[in-house]
Amino acid sequence: MPKKPKKTTEEKVIEDYFPLDEEDAEHATEKQVKETIPDFKQIVEKEYKKPERSSLERVEKIPKIKIKKSKATRKVKYSPKKIKLKKGGYELIVTEKPQAASKIASALGNPKRKDSKGISYYELERKGKKIIVACAVGHLFTLKQNIPGSEIPIFEISWIPNYLARKKDFTKKYYDTLLKLAKDSGSITIATDYDIEGEVIGLNVVRFICGQKDAKRMKFSTLTTQELNKAYDEKSPHIDWGQAIAGETRHYLDWFYGINLSRALMNAIKTTGRFKIMSIGRVQGPALNLIVQKEKDIQKFKPEPYWQVFITVDDERPRGRSIASTELRAESGAGKNKLELKYNQDIFDKSKLEKFENIVGKTAIAETKKTEQVLPPNPPFNLTTLQTEAYKFYGLTPSRTLQIAQSLYLGGLISYPRTSSQKLPESIGYKEILKKLAKEYNVEKLITKKKPVEGKKLDSAHPSIYPTGNKQILAGDDEKIYNLITKRFLSLFCDSAIIDNKKVSAVLDELIFSARGASVRKKAWMEIYPTKLKEIEIPDLKGEVKITNSKTEQKETQPPKRYSPASIISQLEKKNLGTKATRSSILETLYNRNYVKGKSIEATPLGISLITTLEKYSPIIINEKLTRNFENEMEAIQKLKKNFEEKEKKVIDKAKQTIISIAKDFGKNEKKIGEELLKATNELRQQQKIENTLMRCPVCKKGDLGIMYSRKTKRHFIACDAYPDCTNTYSLPPRGVIKKTNKVCEECGFPMLMRLLRGRRPWVFCFNPKCKTNEEWAKKREKKEEKENTLSDLE
């Protein structure tokens, strides 16, 4: 089920699955800095547990594994307490996160911080009225099936509190605090994030904890004092029902798909006598299909040789004939007017290369064409473009960027990041923000426009991402993302840049050669916003030129490029699959399930086989169009003014029909599907084993040493795969990602490993404890690791 990605740990998990290459390690060499907006993280994020490391799932024979009866199969009873609002009671404002509660309380008055079971809430007075601001902590409720059992299809589900759904649930304290505060309140105002997830969080608090049918709603895009006051004064008398029902429908659909399809897959595998956790979701299927199709294109691809011909020409004319060339010569002497040009076609028929024999020494006719290109600033950031640019400039994964943006938003520094808008309405007060930031960034001279450049995309709930003008000292990735957002915002108010393009061509009979140059005449917004424009200077050539050299290069056509984490997310957006809030977590699930791997996203044998099998036996699961239709219908619900429930029922019924027909597909071919998936799983394991194998075990000389992970100690270590016959193991540094390198230790011949850790230089080491290189280091390293562990606890 897609959830908002909100955890630092999640992002660490995804890093574990990106086999970072040495060249990528530059991203890991930044100076380590303490995060500067950690208060929210420190309080809350520790409690968000990172997902299971599914890479370590083993395919076991059934008798070996005890399948515990999960809570999913036990009946859970939940009937919310009935409470009545008190006449004359205080106003209870409910926020989505702890940090938002503190921001809203301070914006509306002079709050006193109170405490219930360790959960903070705030009491304040505004115009003689008592207000209490308290928080949820994301979702407090989850969907659960009503009757135990694992048959499919199953559709009987309802909302129950998280604490009844899982053991040791940390949200119970928040549930209890809200319940306690609701009992004495006179009215309820929802102030969760203004989007579909936020509305569902609010709706569930209103109906299940507060026992109400409706509540007031504060709507805002930034956590600034000014906007929060406005949002409070102009609050809506109702929650946003379109948004709430659209969100609820999404939850139902995702549950139906997620649970039923995953069970179908697992049941299919069970028919082979094995057990493996597998899943596929409503958006996951089509998303994985995109990656697999690309992989198939790459596999099908046959490189073709082709040739490119280059000539070097020299301007033979005497000096002083053209002003431009005179200047050039005057500057750096003769030879400056030498230029390499490329034949303007790639040649696939080798025999055609004959035409280029004996052309050296001949005279060609040159011409220079100049054009001016006006480049306006890029439109304001929405989530996808921010994620794409952050990946391009800093190599940050989309989920990491979202997480940073979320914390900048909670710090009141930027507007709500989960937006698809490219608009910047005047009502946000950009004039003031611009004045302040232009001064701070010392770019006042470049600001020439009163109105910003805007893009086409709209979002009914929020404007594009912009800085609020509030200040806080930032460092590390937070600072980078904040600066990128601010610079993008400032650039919107600048002139267009002007690029001088130049094309020099040289014609010899029917052969045309050309070279292109570009220089920036006016940088304008490019002086503020980072751009990757390459300037190429070439001389002006006109008239007769002598060909002084020629060369032929043989090349090969290249296979299609794999998706990067950023490009797959923009592709999903283009195809309207998933939502801005869920796309990065969908991608993460594909990594976690071992369907894809690598930074340049490659489908694994398991991912490819899953899609191939589904294509054969139940193509509806990966049907992009169906998924997109559901997205459109949910968007339609969001815009409705009435009859929400009717439409909700219609969409849900359609989803049920789809799932029933998928279940039928599986019923018919369960055994075949199971066998194909099992084969793929074994292939994947084989591949992973090869990738993880380091060397023959020096102790037993029969097994191979590989990197393993212990769930018990939560550490990686090296062990011999002849276990239990051989118990040889080696320990590894406790933190970071351990990678194989292609280096061998000069002292002992063991393969060298590399440890990557954010904020550190990659560390290449020999894992042989008896190696000379380790004798003096052993003690030092121990101390160092201890220190690092202490540091990591603080992170």
Q: Which residues bind Zn ion (CB under 5 A)?
A: 697, 699-700, 703, 720, 722, 726, 728, 745, 747-748, 750, 766, 768, 771
Exposed/middle/buried for 320, CB within 10 Å: 0-12, 13-18, 19+? exposed
- The answer to whether 184 and 90 have CB atoms below 8 angstroms apart is yes
Residues 291, 656: Cα–Cα separation, whole Å: 27
- The residue among 361 and 749 lying less far from Zn ion, judged by its C-beta, is 749
Residues 594, 588: Cα–Cα separation, whole Å: 10
Quote the least distance from Cβ 729 to Zn ion, whole Å. 9
Task: Clarify whether 416 is annotated catalytic.
Answer: yes
Is omega for the bond preceding 153 within 30 degrees of 0, making it cis? yes
Quote the least distance from Cβ 159 to Zn ion, whole Å. 52
Quote the least distance from Cβ 762 to Zn ion, whole Å. 17
Exposed/middle/buried for 67, CB within 10 Å: 0-12, 13-18, 19+? exposed
Phi first, then psi: what are they for 400, rounded to 5°? -65, -45
- The residue among 691 and 725 lying less far from Zn ion, judged by its C-beta, is 725
Quote the least distance from Cβ 737 to Zn ion, whole Å. 21
- The residue among 117 and 779 lying less far from Zn ion, judged by its C-beta, is 779
Quote the least distance from Cβ 719 to Zn ion, whole Å. 8
Query: Residue 539: helix, strand or coil by DSSP?
Result: coil
**What's the angle, vertex CA 424, arms to CA 449 and CA 101, rounded to 5?**
130
| H helix or E strand, kind and range, residue 501 | strand 497-508
Exposed/middle/buried for 753, CB within 10 Å: 0-12, 13-18, 19+? buried
Residues 37, 408: Cα–Cα separation, whole Å: 8
What's the one-letter identity of residue 43?
Answer: I
Of 416, 430, 529, 563, the catalytic one is 416
Quote the least distance from Cβ 707 to Zn ion, whole Å. 15
3-state helix, strand, coil in the chain (%, to 5): 40, 20, 35
- The residue among 277 and 744 lying less far from Zn ion, judged by its C-beta, is 744
Query: Residue 199: helix, strand or coil by DSSP?
Result: helix
Quote the least distance from Cβ 765 to Zn ion, whole Å. 9
Cα distances from 612 to residues 286, 425, 603, 607, in angstroms, run: 12, 47, 12, 9
Quote the least distance from Cβ 738 to Zn ion, whole Å. 16
Quote the least distance from Cβ 767 to Zn ion, whole Å. 8
Instruction: At 84, list the tokens.
Output: 């009545």
Residues 258, 261: Cα–Cα separation, whole Å: 6
Strand partners, 513: 343, 506
- The residue among 663 and 697 lying less far from Zn ion, judged by its C-beta, is 697
- The residue among 318 and 724 lying less far from Zn ion, judged by its C-beta, is 724
Cα distances from 119 to residues 136, 175, 420, 594, in angstroms, run: 10, 10, 33, 38
Instruction: At 737, list the tokens.
Output: 């990602």
Instruction: At 495, list the tokens.
Output: 């002139």
Quote the least distance from Cβ 724 to Zn ion, whole Å. 11
**What's the angle, vertex CA 748, arms to CA 742 and CA 752, rounded to 5?**
25
- The residue among 310 and 777 lying less far from Zn ion, judged by its C-beta, is 777
| H helix or E strand, kind and range, residue 225 | helix 225-233
* Nearest C-alpha neighbor of 629 from the set 610, 650, 611: 650
- The residue among 394 and 777 lying less far from Zn ion, judged by its C-beta, is 777
Handedness of CA 552, 555, 557, 561 (dihedral sign): negative
- The residue among 375 and 748 lying less far from Zn ion, judged by its C-beta, is 748
Instruction: At 165, list the tokens.
Output: 């759904």
- The residue among 643 and 731 lying less far from Zn ion, judged by its C-beta, is 731
- The residue among 536 and 695 lying less far from Zn ion, judged by its C-beta, is 695
- The answer to whether 588 and 568 have CB atoms below 8 angstroms apart is no
* Nearest C-alpha neighbor of 704 from the set 678, 734, 676, 725: 725
Quote the least distance from Cβ 687 to Zn ion, whole Å. 22
Contacts of 793 (CB under 8 A, 6+ apart): none
Exposed/middle/buried for 436, CB within 10 Å: 0-12, 13-18, 19+? middle
Q: Which residues are catalytic, by number? A: 416
